[in-house]
Structure 1
């Protein structure tokens, strides 16, 4: 009789005891203790992540992630696409319709607790619907949620139950959108268990499909995060990622700028005010991210001299080299947000001509002001 293959309850990969550097490695002593006690088994990677907040590199390739997601097309299921409201453009999956086939889709905007209370829920939902339609997604419903708010999680559970109609539920998203944290909150709300799935703010935590059983014999299935190269997270050290990730509600910082002035968002992005009258520019970023103002004519030299030191993050350019900053120019025909993917946004007044800079590969976009 073949022994049943064991899987890590945290990330879903098969457990193995031979290759210390490989996925799913667990010391034989830990495996024996688990078998004797009957307790859930975690691989060493998940154990260290849970207890010491240490992340290890993921050896799966982009193709491996996409291969796992391609299986969804053949299923009859409800699809939940989780996106990060704080980084919508960096977390939306432009080709998702190719993976889900004809299955129904719910679009869930996560981390609503980070957004300013002045941002109206209805306006944000309408904006998300419009952006989804632009890339070919037709969600049955758009919801806002937060894993930190039990009432939000219960509302999401109720909506899932309404739409799934006795089917499995696949939860998909790019890395770093809080997908596994949200699933943990769902489990806790539904059955009272805490932290079953390994969660982390670092990309690439869930390494295989994780099935969470439902009472009717079907499953909620957590899928690996799709790696989205436009995300700022892929260029940062773990400590720098913590620094730019909001932990509390965003508090606006207002700057009175004249044309010819520059704002640096740490050393990760740059905002140039090129032409226009003196006006108010409102910055929405993590509270710990330092903003530096200087003259536009001195900005290039200022950046070259201070990046990685006065302009932080980045703090570890030796091990996490930052791509060169690339320039995007915009003219605001109305009040607009200039969005730096993964960092936040700056609201600019009508008539402003500006330039936004971000590491090569990271998106800088404009949108109608949400606030």
Structure 2
């Protein structure tokens, strides 16, 4: 296999063979014209004769306008989509990655701009938040990652902290080779609430323990807690990699689907880990909440950390520390449990000079919901410069690999809109309820937890997206509530009424027994796959019997010890005559790059509001 050069071209036959197999499967059936989603491309204004114009109805929102057409005579190109890595093609298969309308393809080919183009799927993901149904198997993803085996490289294993330990890639040594150094990155720390002072070092130790239980052994050299989305811990990670790995070889981002690899790729592309010119040459990866966005290898050249560059970088970081920035906040034992939105600043010490941009990426945790500022973070941009041969002849690269699909995942059962509701985009605020034996708790229509047996009441702290409703009822009414309200507004997800629930698998029960550890510490977590979990807190020594209902292939299970054992302490006052406790709105963590005085003003401003 020959990796793509800086223009995105791939010479290897394996990726093309996989993509052509998808096309053969897709073209065997008659093409439904309504399924060929076409749209007006903001980066490619077409001639008026090619645009199908329809009048909008006076009521309701207009749908995406259609343009373009496939071309059966054009061969598959040798150029990859700069957003997802799939080979660009013109065949009429709506589910095929890399599809590009022929009108856009031919003009870009004639003008020499094909190397920076994105396919129809990436455009819909970025600008319209619409996911096309892809037909790519787990084996094809794993085959691409296995190309790392013969390489001398460092592996950055991205782990989704919301889905521990299932987001740790199983059998990783078999995929990448036993001779690789592995650095484990616990991502999405910005979404976890702090349950007590010093919670960050505890999560770090627990992540390291999960890796040992997964059989990694001495391969794991470091463990970091980061947020690829907000920049938390990124500067400390870069300093660590430049100090330990230096410039010994290539670096690969590996992890399960939806763990945040492409987001980290984009953040590192705008940091000191990347050659200064690469920011203006290489297209950012397409990111979305849907698993399997990246379909092939994307890459950028990493910078050689020479002593002079390391000195200038340290000088810049010291100036930032003097202004109140904290580079290694996970070592702090004094973090308030309410100040749990982890954010940071990622800066550039060197820039190429011909592009006027700020020297820092500043992340605002209040505006980081998916769907905001995406043109800036993920939108396509035209690249006018290219690397010379001498600049790349001895270069080492950072590769973004396709996410490895998990065997059991609740997201695989949901459509695009439902995935956006289930995947958290902002810091999770725990919702706590007190239940007596004989009561049931619904997490949307995705899961139902029956409290069957226990001496006293228990607290159930739900840590899922705020867009997923939680409903409490008695055990004898639970079946009726599900039959009546599944698919409707009360339970929220899935959405689409009775017609949608016909396609959603039936809920299968499984029972769990756990022992209480007191009012201040959760006994265990009922893990709801990638959707989150429910922490159960019971009286010390009390034997609690739970029956958890969920789809058979959703991967629901019990996690002990719990990830946030003291999360019940974040509940507010109890709402009178109900099982609900008020939620406590969190403040931002002081590691947002603000000075201590600025952070204090920010908290006072929020309290005033």
Question: Residue 10 of structure 1 aligns with which residue?
Answer: 83
Query: Is the contact between residue 114 and residue 246 of structure 1 (CA under 8 Å) also seen in structure 2?
Result: yes
- Describe how 1:1-371 pairs up with structure 2 within 5 A: 5-21=78-94, 22-31=96-105, 32-33=107-108, 36=111, 38=113, 40-101=116-177, 102-118=179-195, 120-138=199-217, 139-165=220-246, 166-190=248-272, 191=276, 196-216=284-304, 217-276=395-454, 277-309=456-488, 310-316=490-496, 318=499, 321-333=503-515, 334=517, 335-350=523-538, 351=542, 352-363=544-555, 364-369=557-562, 370-371=564-565
Q: How far 1:195 moved relative to its partner?
A: 6.6
Distance 1:89 1:186 in 2: 25
Q: How far 1:264 moved relative to its partner?
A: 0.3
Q: How far 1:37 moved relative to its partner?
A: 6.4
Distance 2:448 2:126 in 1: 35
Distance 1:285 1:315 in 2: 17
Q: Matched residue of 1:293: which SS? A: strand
Q: Matched residue of 1:339: which SS? A: strand
Q: How far 1:337 moved relative to its partner?
A: 1.9
Q: How far 1:20 moved relative to its partner?
A: 4.9
Distance 1:268 1:183 in 2: 32
- Structure with bigger gyration radius: 2
Q: How far 1:228 moved relative to its partner?
A: 0.8
Q: Matched residue of 2:111: which SS? A: helix
C-alpha distance after superposition, 1:302-354 (max 9, x if no partner): 22232112322011474682222222322222322222112222222242222
Q: Matched residue of 2:462: which SS? A: strand
Q: How far 1:298 moved relative to its partner?
A: 2.2
Query: Is the contact between residue 77 and residue 89 of structure 2 (CA under 8 Å) also seen in structure 1?
Result: no
Q: How far 1:16 moved relative to its partner?
A: 2.2
Distance 2:440 2:514 in 1: 17
Distance 2:191 2:232 in 1: 16
Distance 1:195 1:305, change over 3 A: farther
Q: Which moved more, 1:150-159 or 1:83-92?
A: 150-159
Question: Residue 42 of structure 2 aligns with which residue?
Answer: none
Distance 1:215 1:17, change over 3 A: farther
Distance 1:4 1:357, change over 3 A: closer
Query: Is the contact between residue 116 and residue 283 of structure 2 (CA under 8 Å) also seen in structure 1?
Result: no
Q: Matched residue of 1:83: which SS? A: strand
Distance 1:282 1:37, change over 3 A: same
Listed as ranges, the gaps of 5+ residues in structure 1 are: none
Distance 1:279 1:90 in 2: 26
Distance 1:299 1:47 in 2: 42
Q: Matched residue of 1:89: which SS? A: coil
Which consecutive aligned stretches of 4+ in structure 1 deviate over 4 angstroms post-superposition?
A: 191-195, 317-320
Listed as ranges, the gaps of 5+ residues in structure 2 are: 1-10, 12-75, 305-394, 518-522, 566-609
Distance 1:340 1:62, change over 3 A: same
Distance 1:28 1:353 in 2: 60
Distance 2:404 2:500 in 1: 24
Distance 2:500 2:229 in 1: 33
Q: TM-score, normalised on structure 2?
A: 0.57
Q: Which moved more, 1:212-221 or 1:107-116?
A: 212-221
Q: TM-score, normalised on structure 1?
A: 0.92
Q: How far 1:35 moved relative to its partner?
A: 5.4
Q: Matched residue of 1:332: which SS? A: strand
Q: Matched residue of 2:163: which SS? A: helix
C-alpha distance after superposition, 1:137-180 (max 9, x if no partner): 23211111112333522222223333434211111111111211
C-alpha distance after superposition, 1:212-253 (max 9, x if no partner): 222350111111111113221100011111111112211111
